[in-house]
Amino acid sequence: MCNLYATMKMRAENAALARAMRDRNNNQPPMPAVFPGYAAPIIARMPDGSREMFDAEWGLPSSQKAQIDLASKRAVKLRAKGEEIDKARFDELLRLEPDKGTTNVRNTSSKHWTRWLGPANRCLVPMTSFCEPDQVGGSRENVWFALDDTRPLVFFAGVWVPQWTSARTLKDGPVTRDLFGFLTTEANAEVRAHHDKAMPVILTTEQERDLWLSDAAWPEVAHLQRPLPDGALKIVATGVKRDEVIPA
C-alpha cells in the first residue's frame, strides 16, 4: 500500500502532459513528499469535457462499516464512564467520528468503491516517484521507485470524491473538501522484492490516460488495474522520507 510519493515536475508540465486546460492553483511548488491527509494536485474531467488540475486531499472516505466500528468502540468507553448512549447520541458520535481516510483502492468489486469508479470520479494523480517500506527484508526502510533515474512524469490511476463532508479530527469536526486516492494492484518484480503486498496502478502512455478519463464504463477500463511489467521500475533512493531530486 503506497502512502508516500513525490511529484517534482512543475505544475505547468503536469497540466500540459495531462492536457488540462486550467490549473486552479498554479503557484504550488514541486512536492518531494506527499503524505496522506495533505493536499496534492490531481487532474479530472469536468462536466463540459474539459480537464482541470486542482488540489485535493489525499484520503478517500472510509467505509460506513469501518466508521460504525470506530464509533461503537467510542460508545463502549463512554458507557463505561456512565454516559447514556441512545440512538440519537450514537448517530452524533458517528457523525463526529474522525475518518483518517483511505489512501488506496484495491477491491474494486466492493460496493463502497463501485459508486466512484465511473467517469465522473476518475482522475489522474501526477507523480515522479513513489515509496514503499521494505517489509520483505524486514528493515521497514523506505524504498523509492521511478521509471528511471530521471524520474519522468507519470500518473497514478486516481479516484476522486468532490465536496465530501466528514470529520478528520475530533477537534475540527466535520469539514467539506475534495478527496482523492488511487488504485493499487499486485506488485511487479521490482516492488515485490521489497513490498509484496501491492503497488500503485501507474499510467505511462497518453492512450492509457485518455481511456481512464474517458466516458468508458468501469468494465472497459478495468484492465488498467494491473502492475507495470517486470523491469519497468528502478530503485532511485532508499532510507529517506523525501525524494528531493529534481527530474531532468
Structural domain for 91, as ranges? 63-98
| Same domain as 75, residue 16 | no
> Whose CA is closest to 188, among 248, 130, 121?
130
- Report whether pLDDT(169) > 90: no
Indicate if 68 and 58 belong to the same structural domain.
Answer: no
**Same domain flag for 54 and 69:** no
How high is the pLDDT of residue 1?
Answer: 66
Per-residue pLDDT tens for 2-37?
A: 899 999 998 899 999 999 989 988 778 899 999 999
40 and 120 in a single domain? The answer is: yes
Q: Has residue 176 got a pLDDT over 80? A: yes
Question: What confidence tens digit (pLDDT) does each residue in 141-155 have?
Answer: 999 999 999 999 999
CB contact at 8 A, 198 and 209: no
Mean pLDDT for 160-179 is 90
**Nearest C-alpha neighbor of 121 from the set 188, 192, 182, 30:** 182
The answer to whether position 166 is within a domain reads yes
Using the 3D structure, point to which of 78, 98, 118 is the last residue of a domain. 98
Q: Are 11 and 246 in contact (CB under 8 A)?
A: no
Residue 214 falls inside a structural domain = yes
Q: pLDDT tens digit string along 41-54? A: 999 999 999 999 99
**pLDDT for the residue 214:** 97
For residues 21 and 182, what is the distance between their CA atoms, to the nearest angstrom? 22
* Domain assignment of residue 247, yes or no: no
Where a domain ends, among 74, 98, 122? 98
pLDDT at 248: 65
Average pLDDT over residues 86-104: 81
**Is 243 within the bounds of a domain?**
no
Query: Domain total for the chain?
Result: 2
Same domain, 68 and 41: no
176 vs 161: CA distance, rounded Å: 11
Could you give the 3-state DSSP secondary structure of residue 54?
strand
218 and 178, same structural domain? yes
The answer on 191 and 140 residing in a single domain is yes
> Would you state the pLDDT for residue 74?
79
157, 222: one domain: yes
Q: Are residues 24 and 94 in the same domain?
A: no
Percent of the chain as helix, strand, coil, to the nearest 5: 25, 30, 45
Task: Please check whether residues 130 and 221 belong to one and the same domain.
Answer: yes
**Alpha-carbon span 233 to 228, nearest angstrom:** 8
User: At a CB cut-off of 8 Å and minimum separation 6, what does 111 contact?
Assistant: none
Tens-digit pLDDT profile for residues 203-219: 999 999 999 999 999 99
| Residues 221-231 pLDDT 10s | 999 999 999 99
| Selection from 111, 155, 189, 178 nearest residue 15 by Cα | 155
My answer on whether 230 and 109 are in the same domain is yes
Query: Is 246 within the bounds of a domain?
Result: no
Identify the sign of the CA torsion 141, 156, 153, 192. positive
178, burial (CB in 10 Å: exposed 0-12, middle 13-18, buried 19+): middle
- 39 forms beta bridges with 57
Q: Is 245 domain-assigned?
A: no
What does the block give as the cell for 205? 502512455
Domain co-membership, 29 together with 46: yes
* 98, 119, 142 - which closes a domain: 98
Is residue 115 situated within a structural domain? yes
Report, as an integer, the average pLDDT of 177-183.
97
Q: Does residue 210 lie within any of the structural domains? A: yes
